């Protein structure tokens, strides 16, 4: 008998971290791989933040600290949220090693086995992944290309039942970059306010809050009646190009809920390193914040424009211009059709066919034969992924590499013979 509890086999994963060995394999074959799979800004940590880390280390701030998070950072987070019109107080803020952690904590805190959890699909994979771990019922809210990857209040209302306990929102969105209009956000809030069962919570993942182009970010928690049912989450990973800092935070609706999360912190990791928390406070409070962010956002905008334009010139690719985040999400069904990917997938042996999807074959062909690392649709929610042929490309790579990546994808899209030989070569050895 396997030594594992059932739940250990029911948790999913985040594919971007799984792709490393396959990139290494492609590189071992002599390819220079352009990494368009990575979800982190390619800028160095801003000097003023790095200097504060050093200062804190020199001051010996290397011991255990308050499990909820140091007060100075919780204060800064609460101020940052109040400036956006959110009713926030430091007693309701909890600090975690990254914005990812409260996703699982929220599911463990609010949902019993059999309870329903709604989340966007395509969406950050950890929302769906954790539902298996806690034996909740996953309820994907599909984002449709024809609606600009938005969803209507009606779409949402249809999914809410008396067993709904948690609803994940993520604006700007990973992977689509979507940001709702002010009107749509108000309508979504109205449905949540009036239709969610008593006690159900909204989890607003705002990790890309600062990376917006033509639009402004607005937190749903700033709308009337939302603060009392919304958990607002963000962190330092994206805004300050600081994914390795592992600092994220959540604002909880009540002090009691913040205390439950604090106790999970105690059980799992005790506390987040105090010297990084103090540097995160500097990141939020520094007068250099706005200018540093602006430089990064301007650079992402220029790269996004080049990539979207280049992709749309490839026959069989259709790519919307995302208003936020640093990803593009092209529909590559036309390329799949031209290269025979759909037919090749349909002809796979049953067990392999159900494990993989057509666009996964294209994703691996792009990586192994053309040296471009991307992520497939199923990396952003497994349920219902088979019927859609999308890839995510991160634009957090140099402009020169992005131009080269687009050229390589254009070449790959004409390389039918290469795709056939790739399939032959990998037959019986496709773990993806």
φ, ψ for residue 29, nearest 5 deg = -85, 5
Q: How far is the CB of 286 from ligand PMP (least distance, A)?
A: 19
When binding is defined by CB under 6 A, the residue of 80, 100, 345, 378 that contacts ligand PMP is 100
124 binds ligand PMP (CB under 6 A): yes
How far is it, in rounded angstroms, from Cα 225 to Cα 320? 33
> d(Cα 432, Cα 425) in Å, to the nearest integer?
14
Asked if 207 touches ligand PMP (CB under 6 A), the answer is yes
99 lies in the site for ligand PMP, by CB under 6 A? yes
**CB nearer ligand PMP, residue 40 or residue 404:** 40
With a CB cutoff of 8 Å and minimum separation 6, the contacts of 15 are 125, 375, 376, 378, 379
Minimal distance, residue 248 CB to ligand PMP, in Å: 4
Q: Which of 178, 235, 324, 330 binds ligand PMP (CB under 6 A)?
A: 235
With contacts defined by CB under 6 A, how many residues of the chain interact with ligand PMP?
13
Q: What is the CA radius of gyration of the chain?
A: 22
Residue span binding ligand PMP (CB under 6 A) among the ranges 95-103, 149-157, 290-298, 312-320: 95-103
Distances (CA, A) of 367 to 102, 248, 311: 32, 32, 17
Separation in Å, CA 401 to CA 31, 34, 159, 174, 243: 14, 7, 42, 22, 21
Contact with ligand PMP (CB under 6 A): which of 98, 122, 180, 324?
A: 98
Instruction: Kindly write out the interface string for residues 35-74 of this chain, putting x where it contacts ligand PMP by CB under 6 A and - elsewhere.
Output: ----x-----------------------------------
202 is an interface residue for ligand PMP by CB under 6 A: no
Element (H or E) spanning 22, and its range?
A: helix 20-28
- The closest of 210, 152, 198 to 326, measured between CA atoms, is 210
Which H/E stretch holds residue 258?
helix 255-268
| Biggest distance spanned by C-alpha atoms of the chain | 64
Note whether 237 binds ligand PMP by CB under 6 A.
yes
Residue selected from 107, 109, 121, 170 as contacting ligand PMP according to rule CB under 6 A = 170
Min dist. Cβ of residue 107 to ligand PMP (A): 14
For residues 58, 64, 67, 71, the Cα torsion angle rounded to the nearest 10 degrees is -30
Instruction: Name which position in 72, 243, 259, 414 contacts ligand PMP (CB under 6 A).
Output: 243
Task: Tell me which stretch binds ligand PMP (CB under 6 A): 235-243, 277-285, 314-322, 388-396.
Answer: 235-243
Residues binding ligand PMP (CB under 6 A)? 39, 98-100, 124, 170, 174, 205, 207, 235, 237, 243, 248
């Amino acid at each position: 008998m396997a030594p594992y509890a059932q739940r250990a086999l029911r948790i999913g994963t985040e594919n971007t971290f799984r792709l490393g060995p396959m990139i290494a394999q492609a590189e071992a074959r002599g390819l220079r791989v352009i990494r368009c799979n990575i979800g982190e800004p390619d800028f160095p940590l801003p000097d003023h933040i790095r200097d504060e880390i050093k200062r804190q280390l020199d001051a010996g701030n290397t011991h255990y600290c308050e499990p909820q998070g140091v007060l100075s950072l919780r204060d800064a987070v609460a101020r940052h949220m109040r400036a956006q019109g959110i009713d926030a107080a430091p007693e309701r803020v909890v600090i975690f090693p990254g914005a990812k952690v409260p996703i699982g904590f929220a599911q463990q805190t609010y949902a019993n086995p059999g309870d329903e959890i709604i989340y966007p699909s395509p969406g950050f994979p950890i929302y769906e992944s954790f539902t298996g771990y806690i034996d909740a019922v996953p309820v994907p809210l599909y984002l449709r290309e024809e609606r600009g990857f938005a969803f209507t209040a009606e779409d949402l209302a249809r999914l809410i039942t008396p067993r709904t306990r948690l609803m994940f929102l993520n604006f700007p969105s990973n992977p689509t970059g979507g940001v709702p209009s002010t009107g749509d956000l108000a309508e979504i809030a109205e449905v949540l306010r009036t239709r969610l069962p008593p006690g159900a919570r909204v989890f607003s993942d705002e990790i890309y809050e600062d990376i917006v182009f033509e639009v402004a970010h607005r937190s749903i928690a700033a709308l009337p009646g939302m603060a009392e049912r919304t958990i607002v989450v963000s962190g330092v990973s994206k805004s300050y190009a600081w994914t390795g800092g592992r600092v994220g935070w959540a604002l909880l609706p009540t002090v009691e809920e913040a205390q439950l999360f604090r106790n999970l912190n105690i059980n799992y990791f005790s506390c987040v390193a105090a010297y990084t928390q103090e540097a995160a406070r500097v990141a939020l409070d520094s007068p250099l914040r706005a200018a540093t962010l602006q430089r990064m956002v301007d650079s992402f905008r220029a790269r996004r424009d080049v990539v979207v334009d280049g992709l749309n010139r490839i026959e069989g690719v259709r790519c919307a211009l995302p208003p936020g985040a640093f990803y593009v999400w092209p529909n590559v069904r036309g390329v799949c059709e031209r290269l025979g990917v759909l037919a090749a997938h349909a002809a796979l042996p049953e067990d392999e066919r159900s494990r993989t999807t057509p666009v996964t074959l294209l994703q691996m062909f792009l990586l192994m034969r053309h040296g471009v690392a991307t992520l497939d649709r199923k990396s952003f929610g497994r349920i219902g992924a088979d019927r859609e042929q999308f890839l995510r490309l991160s634009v957090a790579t140099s402009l020169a590499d992005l131009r080269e990546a687009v050229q390589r994808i254009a070449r790959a899209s004409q390389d039918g013979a290469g795709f056939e030989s790739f399939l032959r070569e990998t037959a019986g050895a496709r773990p993806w």
